[in-house]
Amino acid sequence: MLLLLLSCARHPAPDQRHHIGGIRPADLIVPSGWKGEPLPAVFLLHGLSSSARNQDRYMRFSRLVDELDFLLVLPDGMERSQDGLAAWNATDACCSPDGVDDVAYLSGLMDELEGMGATGFYFTGHSNGGFMSYRMACERPERIAAIASLAGATWLEAPDCAADAPVDILQIHGSDDATVPYAGRPGKYPGARETAARWAARAGCAPPVAAAELSLVLRPGAETLREVWQCSPPHRVELWTIEGAGHIPLVSGDYAREVVGWLLAEH
């Protein structure tokens, strides 16, 4: 079923795919006919052992660049020496390639994109890519407007996140995730709710309330519970819990639209 869905996904036309990043290139997917007018840039960061293109095949963000009018950045992590798996040097829990400064690499891509007309930066990622999105929010809060993490988490120790400004946070997590447990892993990283709550505290938000449920995976009905922290505008913090989902939920086409729509809602 998943392979069939991936094979049916619309692929960007050749003139929509570009390369940035020099000796460590990343794919840049642009809307049809884009001539450099100012647009927001969304970074999609893959999980451990995956790749940028495979992550996009799974989540299908590229099919939305025309509809939602944004730049999609598809960078790749570096191979780890111990096992050759592509990874991001995110938090101390997940999943460091030796001596790689991915904060500098991704910051360099943002610099390049600013010169091309990007007007704001948004990060989303799965698992290791979610951990890396949190690291970017911690270390570059002045540049990043919002992140959305699926099955990722922030630093174990709150002081290790040095952000002195809020970043809009959307934490998405399967309730039955056995790889990166929803409740966190003692001594490694906090749980999904604790991760979101720390950012809500940084923004001075009141406790969360339940909001309308969503349908993000390929099964009937609305299975995703939403908790929305009560923040003063423009700050936003939400937790989306996919009931019964594991580490790699079988997401529907609505997943990408809901996530990108949330990221860019305040742009």
Q: In the structure, what pLDDT confidence band is assigned to residue 8 with cuts at 50, 70 and 90?
A: very low
- Residues of the chain with pLDDT > 70, as a percent, come to 96
**The residue to which tokens 């937790």 are assigned:** 239
* Section 4-13 average pLDDT: 54
Q: In the structure, what pLDDT confidence band is assigned to residue 164 with cuts at 50, 70 and 90?
A: confident
Instruction: Give pTM, 2 decimals.
Output: 0.94
- Phi, psi (rounded to 5 degrees) for 45: -105, 125
* Section 215-219 average pLDDT: 95
pLDDT of 14 reads: 66
> Between these two residues, 95 and 243, which has the higher pLDDT value?
243
Question: How many domains does the chain contain in total?
Answer: 1
The answer to whether the beta carbons of residues 73 and 263 sit under 8 Å apart is no
Question: Residue 7 sits in which domain range?
Answer: 2-263
CATH number at residue 77: 3.40.50.1820
Neighbour-count burial for 237-265, b at 16+ CB within 10 Å, e otherwise? bbbbbbeebebbbebbeebbbbbbebbbe
Separation between Cα atoms, residue 156 and residue 72, nearest integer Å: 30
Mean pLDDT of the chain: 93
**Residues facing residue 189 across a β-bridge:** 185
**Residues facing residue 228 across a β-bridge:** 209, 238
pLDDT reading at 79 higher than 50: yes
> Cα–Cα distances in Å, from 104 out to 88, 98, 115, 215?
12, 15, 17, 36
* DSSP state for residue 91 in the 8-state scheme: B
* Section 24-35 average pLDDT: 95
One DSSP character per residue, 16-31 reads GEEEESTTS-EEEE--
pLDDT of 43 reads: 98
pLDDT reading at 5 higher than 90: no
pLDDT reading at 83 higher than 50: yes
**The residue to which tokens 């049916």 are assigned:** 8
pLDDT of 2 reads: 42
> Between these two residues, 8 and 238, which has the higher pLDDT value?
238
Q: In the structure, what pLDDT confidence band is assigned to residue 6 with cuts at 50, 70 and 90?
A: very low
Nearest to 9 by CA among 260, 252, 216: 252
Helix segments in 70-187, DSSP class H: 102-114, 128-139
* Section 154-169 average pLDDT: 93
pLDDT of 3 reads: 40
pLDDT reading at 137 higher than 60: yes
Q: Which amino acid is at 5?
A: L
The answer to whether the beta carbons of residues 189 and 160 sit under 8 Å apart is no
DSSP reduced 3-state for 94: strand
Q: What is the CB-side half-sphere exposure of residue 16 using CA atoms within 13 A?
A: 20
Nearest to 245 by CA among 145, 176, 142, 181: 176
